[in-house]
Amino acid sequence: MTVDRPALCRSATVSGRRTPDDVWDRYLRPQRWPEWSPQIRAVDYATETLVPLTTGNVHGPAGVRAHFRILDVDATGPVRSWSWSVTAAGVRLHLRHTVEPLGGGTRTGLVVRGFAPAVLLYVPLAWAALRRLVQ
């Protein structure tokens, strides 16, 4: 059974010196996710860059595997964004990421919604990964 109720929504915003183009590239190419996200060990994904309505798998520590679906990718305008749904252990989270220029660096944002305990556990991990993404 998949829990898919938007029981809780949380956000995180992090700024750093890395350029928006580099941050976007690190998001856009799933094979680069383990470079900055310590909870991701490997990614199975059929294309080089994110494409809406495609799926893949993220492999985490201790054999944890999460299935994901890319919902949308918007590389236009000053604020680029993408969203996906991730399901692991029967729990689904919906995540939206943003990348925007910030005087000599980048601000990246994340909004996570889903089953409350999973959101509360995930946001601190995501915040740490986002810091690495923009540094």
pTM of the model: 0.92
Give the residue-averaged pLDDT of 68-81: 96
Burial class (CB in 10 A: 0-12, 13-18, 19+), 23: buried
Q: Give the tens place of pLDDT for each residue, 89-98.
A: 999 999 999 9
| Structure confidence at residue 5 as a pLDDT band (50, 70, 90) | low
Kindly calculate the radius of gyration of the chain based on its CA atoms and give it in whole angstroms.
14
CA-nearest of 48, 111, 122, 54 to 88 is: 122
| Structure confidence at residue 47 as a pLDDT band (50, 70, 90) | very high
- Quote the pLDDT of residue 75: 95
Which architecture does CATH list for 8-134? 2-Layer Sandwich (3.30)
